[in-house]
Amino acid sequence: MNLTRRRFGQTIALSMSVPATAVAATTGTWELKNSLIHQKLALQDRSLVSRALINVRTGKEWIHPAIPSEEFFVSFSSEGGPPAVFTGKGPLRLHKETTASTGDWTELRLKFELGDTPLRITRRYLCHRVLPVIRQETTLHNTGGVPLRIHACDAFRLRVAPTTAPLELHWINNFGRAMHPEPGNPIHHASVDDNSQHAVSTGPYSPDIAWFALAAPELRGGLVGGWEWSGPMTITFGDRRDPCLIHGGLDPLAFAEPLAPGSEFAGPMGWYGFYEGGLDEAAYLSHQLVETLAPPLTMASAPWVGYCTWAASMDEKSPHNEGSHPWFPTERNILSQVDAAAELGCDLFLWDYGWFPRVGDWHCDPQRYPQGPAPVVRAVKRAGMKMGLWVGFGNADDLSEVVRQHPDWLATYGGKPIPDGFFTRTAASTWKVRTLCLAHRPAREWVKQQLARIIDSFELDWLKHDFDLITICQDRNHTHPPGDSRVASVEGFYEIMDYVRSGWPNLLCENWMNNSAVPDYGVLQRHHVQLIGDAYQPFQLRRMFYGHAQVFPPHRQHRYIRFEDGTGDFRNMVRSGSVGGPWTLLSDPRRLSAEQHGILKAEIAAYRAHRHLLVNARVSRLLGRPHPRAWDAVQFWRPDLREGLVYVFRGHDAEEGRTILLHHIPPDARARVTSLGVDVKHSQSGARLSVTLPQGTSALFHIRV
């Protein structure tokens, strides 16, 4: 779905639309509902409010009985004038309402005239046919003859108070933010009560993920939501009075987006929905929503097991790197890695950093690859593997052709090309390169041309992008609006990925950005998988999965596993890094011992034989967060197949055995439990699984009912 923020003179054609115009109307009522969620909107006394938000299954009302939700918040100014602030309190006049049904979504559009101002506001609501989910956004239209500046356009303005007890807010750290804080238990919680507020900030250089859950413990459920935007956002929870106000939206530095006469600006879309139970149930609703928004995984045998050539590049002592710098391997070295990956049983061969002469010159280095990519591509395809490639298309070396010919395309800050004088770490500062401004149309079109040639010439099945893709740029000579530019930068990044997705629909796209990652529901719509973080230690990956599973389905969570970064039992390390999937080796199989090689090959075979049980599975985190001194376990369950997998890990816990209560299995069910890989001492009775393990080891079970 295209989420471009700015649309000029665009006519939107909606299938099955039924327009009903009510010029200058000051009253009206509307309902969005399915069998699980019901929201009632009203225009009363020239104010737009949400009268009700009901969990249909429980009958519980979430809107405060005395203080209704006023739906939106915007701030704008005329050139040179002070900002004016308006909410759903108006004064509003209904200009037009439109309803439509498209796929699984029913849509309601309400267009309002805002007092005597030149700003027309459109509220757009989408209710899913089955899921208890409502999505909503605000679009601003300048109907006047002078330019305006938008200072705020919130994604949320919702007051909730289902009980008199405090709500419990849950939010998640963004693991990708340069690994600070270090990945551990990234799901946090705080009480939201009178005179308390908590902000969740997302986007580049920000600490959090675009997700929240407001639990009502006494109701054994809650409201979960998120936002579909990869730029800077801040959503605040709480207020000075009883109802919890969920409010906030775009939060760029000194945000002042120009809005020309006759143009539109669409704010980020937010979503919310009901769940019953705990955070695992909230996660399942997010997983179901992701599958309605993200590109379908049409490739066979997903999730894949991959091998990445950066494994050898990190090993500076490897004899295979002789004859070149480890970061820039020879063709002979790469072809040897193709053979090693295929022998293990990998599905994907990911050619990482170093196939080019320098960052920004996106062609094979003619000195090391005189025939271009063809010999490597042929070897990968002949081995029955998929071809993947790393590209950092948002950056370029000072000596690259694009920088030498177009230095004016670089993103600048404080009059200097980034990273010079920049306020935070970036890929540009880490890798000693420059950042292209993807908000600048000439640079963006050049990137598209490069990607088109690369995808075709490398016969790609998998594309991984990296480095800086959404950034600040203050260059007033670029095609983006002056100021922060990160709204236009997100638009540019989305445009590039939409171009790739439409031109090569069978190409699997992985999302990653150095230092940011931007795990959100906007970037999800343009990628098949999300890298869960730039950390490779097996136990750390298990912890990261624990939090990341709150948002992303297990078969869309990519990770790299490097055994040199871990310690202890080798099979345990493999399983720690491969919970969920897809997963890619970042250890060179040519450097493993014979014993390690045998274990890894067996674990890959077992994973490939059972990976279908990870697709569209219900995830249950059975024993809490992974900890070095404790037991932890995770279950994947396919209700449609009545079977699943259970991973069990024992840390340095004194207790030799644990009894685990499996989820989604009736107590009187006859379940067949089989240990995979190596046999471990276990017993099962109904939904109870008892396991005995040595310290620092693991077990993997297949369960069928």
- pLDDT tens-place string over residues 657-703: 999 999 998 777 788 999 998 889 999 988 999 999 999 999 999 99
Q: Rounded CA gap, 270 and 225, in Å?
A: 7
Q: How far is CA 533 from CA 183, 430, 509, in A?
A: 9, 17, 16
Bridge partners of 647, per DSSP, are 634, 700
Helix (H) or strand (E) holding 282: helix 279-293
Q: What are phi and psi of 276, to 5 degrees?
A: -125, 130
- The answer to whether residues 176 and 513 touch, using CB atoms and an 8 Å cutoff, is yes
Q: Is 278 exposed, middle or buried (0-12, 13-18, 19+ CB in 10 A)?
A: middle
Question: Which tokens sit at 547?
Answer: 């939090």
Q: What is the pLDDT of residue 533?
A: 83
Q: Which domains does the chain have, with CATH numbers?
A: 27-293 (2.70.98.60), 393-455+467-506 (no CATH), 618-704 (2.60.40)
- Name the residue among 129, 104, 111, 101 with its Cα closest to residue 48: 111
> pTM of the full predicted structure?
0.94
Positions in the chain whose pLDDT score sits under 70: 1-26, 175-185, 242, 252-254, 515-516
Helix (H) or strand (E) holding 663: none
**H-helix segments, 315-398:** 331-344, 374-382
> Rounded to an integer, what distance in angstroms lies between the CA atom of residue 294 and that of residue 30?
29
Would you say 120 and 111 are in contact if contact means Cβ atoms under 8 Å apart?
A: yes
- Find the DSSP H helices in 513-666: 538-548, 570-577, 594-610
Cα(37)–Cα(132) distance, integer angstroms: 5
Amino acid at residue number 701: F
Compute the C-alpha angle 93/95/101, nearest 5°: 125
CA distance 577 to 467: 23
Find the DSSP H helices in 504-593.
Answer: 538-548, 570-577
Say how many residues make up the chain.
705
Whether omega before 181 lies within 30 degrees of 0, making that bond cis, reads yes
In whole angstroms, what is the distance from residue 181 CA to residue 178 CA? Answer: 8
Look at residue 698 in the predicted model and tell me its pLDDT. 97
